[in-house]
Amino acid sequence: MVKQKTLAGVQFFCAILLVGISSLVAAQNRQAIDLSALGPQIGDLVPDFNLPDQNGQLHNRDSIMGPKGAVLLFYRSADW
């Protein structure tokens, strides 16, 4: 009975090791992503826009700009 549990433990360890090694090999074969092709880059100008806020008031690029500029954060929620 003890031998059987030990053998099952060794088999489980080998299976986990095999999955881990195959994951590493797959990760090494991934192609690099060209981040400059994904969208706006740091320092790019934002096109002018007119969008309503949650109260219906319209805002554009100039209305949100402060003395040092503005930060736009795009957040994708999980419940689209």
Q: Is residue 44 part of a domain?
A: yes
4, containing H or E segment? helix 2-28
> How far, in Å, are 37, 59, 65, 69 from residue 53 at the CA level?
29, 7, 15, 19
In a domain, 74, yes or no: no
- Domain with 38, as residue range(s), is 2-64
* Residue 70 domain flag: no
Please indicate, yes or no, if residue 75 is contained in any of the structural domains. Answer: no
Residue 80 lies in a domain: no
Task: Please list, in sequence order, all residues whose beta carbon lies within 8 angstroms of the beta carbon of residue 39, skipping any fewer than 6 positions away.
Answer: none
Q: Which amino acid is located at 25 in the chain?
A: V
- pLDDT band at 5; cut points 50, 70, 90: low
Q: How many domains does the chain have?
A: 1
Q: Which tens digits make up the pLDDT trace of 39-75?
A: 778 888 888 889 998 999 999 988 988 999 888 777 7
Indicate the residue type of 74: F
